Amino acid sequence: MTQFLAQLPVLPIIIPLIAAPLTMLLPARALKGRIPCLFATLVSWIAFAASAAILHSVATAGPISYHMGDFAPPIGIEYRIDLANALVLTLVSGVAALAFPFSYASIRAEIDDHQLSMFYAMALIAMVGLLGVVITGDAFNVFVFVEISSLSTYALVALGARRDRRALTASFNYLVMGTIGATFFVIGLGLLYQATGTLNMADLKIQLAGRDNPMVEAGFAFILVGMGLKAAMFPMHLWMPNAYAHAPSAVAVFLAATSTKVAVYVIIRFTYTVIGADFDFAGAAFEYLIAPLAVMGMFFASIVAIFQDNLKRMLAYSSVGQIGYMLLGISFGTEQGLAASLVHLFNHGLMKGALFMAAAAVAFRVGSETCDGFRGLARRMPWTAAAFIIAALSLVGVPGTIGFISKWQLLSAAFDSGRAWAGFLIVASSLLSVIYMGRVVELMTLAPAPDASAAVREAPLSMLVPMAILVAANIYFGLSTELTVDLAERAATSLMGAAR
């Protein structure tokens, strides 16, 4: 047993990594395509259980270091898990564990039966890629897993082409932007490697100490831009709305809740664990470049979201704005700001997941992805409508939901660090989110349903249950902040401690 537990850190990666090729071999069309879906669900639950066990272990007994192939770092590849990774790890695998069972009905309707096994194999690969990025302590290993997750995501997004050919162009744009981003990341790593000779993140920090030179500065800038592209940071977000809007609905659920969050996590990791606090340029980059861009993103994306007709695209633009909140929190340069960003990263994954699930359920039953499809939804699909409304309230930041917790943390971090302006801007852009979410909620509750309403039934249980769990998480973590806020604060403390 102890032997087994000693290998715990690698389980959330290695089990799906082995399971993915096996999934491909499962019969796609027997039992209405349930076999690959059930298998993938099972694997994602195992990954989630392992992640939760890691989180528990890290929270109670401190960071873990796992040496791949028993080669001690920095010679070998290391998995280093502290609270920050463990938290994101749990988010990604948790959302996956809900998204897989949720996807069954929606995916069967949206892609060809022949492709079900391949689809679930690909979805597992996308999950393992994101988990691998989060868990590793080796900078180049990040790149490898970023590419695993990106390549699978391109293919998954393109699968939306069965309903709308624009998925193809969206996927291609994503591929071009994603590859540029990944290559920038590699250039940045090359510069850091040339300056230090090592690729292990913790070792990079040691070797970089006192070496403030143009190579390190440019390297950090390239990593920031590369990951900014992946995170859809404001001026580099153009690939994202179309990719999310045209991807199969269930794919959008998983991506919206996890993929950009993971990129933000990588930015945090490199800023604090690798570069650290003794480099003035990093602080300056956040203060004078990232913070203004974050604010512009918050407003620009929210305003664009107001005018969107396609619901998924509106939610995607909203995500661009929410990424702005996270980056703004990091840019404060305080422990509180970082903790607020981590909390928001976690919470935003939960609320966007729930919103996209509701959108997917509507697309499944009503067959429409525009806001019109939500007309009179409260009477046609009451449970889905209720889930959407709660998640929307959470996004806006109503007390009792996780959105309120994030906003509260961000606001207090802003005011405590003497950035009252940031606090006001956060409130102002939240008002914009009231407008775009309110518009949809109004359509759902007040507008009359179109004539064909009799034909529309409530979403199937396989969709409702995961949605309900995610919505319940939206409320639970909004009332009990022990897990998220306390852990995020501890994570921030240790990240900042390491940075100094």
Partner 1 sequence: MTPGAETAAFWSRLIDLSLLTMLVLVAYTMLRSRHLFAIVMLSGIYSLLSAALFVSLDAVDVAFTEAAVGAGVSTVLMLGAMLLTVRREKTQRLGRASLGIAVVALVGAALIYATTAMPAFGDPAAPANSYIGAVYMERTAAEIGVPNVVTAVLASYRGFDTLGETMVIFTAGLGVMLLLGPGSGRGGRSVKDRPGKDEAP
Partner 2 sequence: MDLLAFAIERYNYWIFITLMMMGLFIVIARGNLIKKMIGLNVFQTSVFIYYISIGKIAGGTAPIYLPEDLKARMAHGGDHAPLPGKDAIGAGAIRVDESLHGGAGFAGNDLQSLAGKAAPPEGAALHSAPEGAANDILAAPPLTIEDHAGAAGAAADLAKAAAEIVYSNPLPHVLILTAIVVGIATTAVGLALIVRIREAYGTIEEDELEAADDIAEFGYVPSKRGLPEQRAGA
Q: Looking at this protein, which amino acid is placed at residue 49? A: A
Enumerate residues 6+ apart whose C-beta is below 8 A from 242. Answer: 166, 169, 170, 173, 313
Q: Which of residues 76-105 bind partner 2 (CB under 8 A)?
A: 76, 78-80, 82
Q: Count CB-CB contacts under 10 A for residue 307.
A: 9
Nearest CA to 113 out of 167, 206, 37 is that of: 37
The answer to whether 141 contacts partner 1 (rule: CB under 8 A) is yes
Angstrom CA distances, 282 to 286, 298, 312, 407, stand at: 6, 22, 35, 25
Binder among 8, 22, 24, 472 for partner 1 (CB under 8 A): 24
The partner in contact with residue 335, picked from partner 2, partner 1, none with C-beta cut-offs of 5 to 8 angstroms by kind, is: none
* Residue with the two structure tokens 């540029």: 180
The answer to whether 11 contacts partner 1 (rule: CB under 8 A) is no
| x/- map, 319-348, partner 2, by CB under 8 A | ------------------------------
Dist CA 472 CA 297 (whole Å): 29
Nearer to partner 2, 120 or 145 (CB): 145
Dist CA 29 CA 218 (whole Å): 52
Supply φ then ψ for residue 481, to 5 degrees: -95, 5
| x/- map, 23-62, partner 2, by CB under 8 A | --------------------------------------xx
**312 with 249: CB under 8 angstroms?**
yes
Binder among 161, 223, 305, 414 for partner 1 (CB under 8 A): 161
The partner in contact with residue 72, picked from partner 2, partner 1, none with C-beta cut-offs of 5 to 8 angstroms by kind, is: partner 2
User: Alpha-carbon dihedral of residues 464, 469, 472, 478, nearest 10 degrees?
Assistant: -140
Sign of the C-alpha dihedral computed for residues 333, 337, 343 and 349 taken in this order: negative
What DSSP string runs through 329-369? HHHT-SHHHHHHHHHHHHHHHHHHHHHHHHHHHHHHHT---
Residue 154 Cβ, how far from partner 1 at the closest point, in Å? 7
Q: Which of residues 117-136 bind partner 1 (CB under 8 A)?
A: 118-119, 121-122, 125, 128, 132
Nearest CA to 220 out of 180, 279, 260, 265 is that of: 279
Beta bridge partners of 310: 370
The answer to whether 421 contacts partner 1 (rule: CB under 8 A) is no
Local structure of residue 200 (DSSP, 8 states): B
Nearer to partner 2, 18 or 75 (CB): 75
Supply φ then ψ for residue 334, to 5 degrees: -110, 165
**492 with 338: CB under 8 angstroms?**
yes
| x/- map, 49-88, partner 1, by CB under 8 A | -------------------xx-x--xxxx-----------
Q: Which stretch binds partner 1 (CB under 8 A): 192-200, 283-291, 360-368, 424-432?
A: 192-200
Q: Which of residues 128-157 bind partner 2 (CB under 8 A)?
A: 137, 140, 143-144, 147, 151, 154-155
Binder among 155, 250, 295, 343 for partner 1 (CB under 8 A): 155
What DSSP string runs through 307-323? T--BHHHHHHHHHHHHH
Residues near partner 2, by CB under 8 A = 3, 5-9, 61-67, 70-76, 78-80, 82, 137, 140, 143-144, 147, 151, 154-155, 158, 161, 164-166, 168-169, 171-172, 175-176, 179-180, 182-183, 186-187, 190, 193-195, 197, 199, 202-203, 205-207, 209-211, 213, 215, 494, 497-498, 500
Residues near partner 1, by CB under 8 A = 17, 20-21, 24, 68-69, 71, 74-77, 111-115, 118-119, 121-122, 125, 128, 132, 138, 140-141, 144-145, 147-148, 151-152, 154-155, 158-159, 161-162, 164-165, 168, 187, 191, 193-199, 207, 213-215, 217-219, 221-222
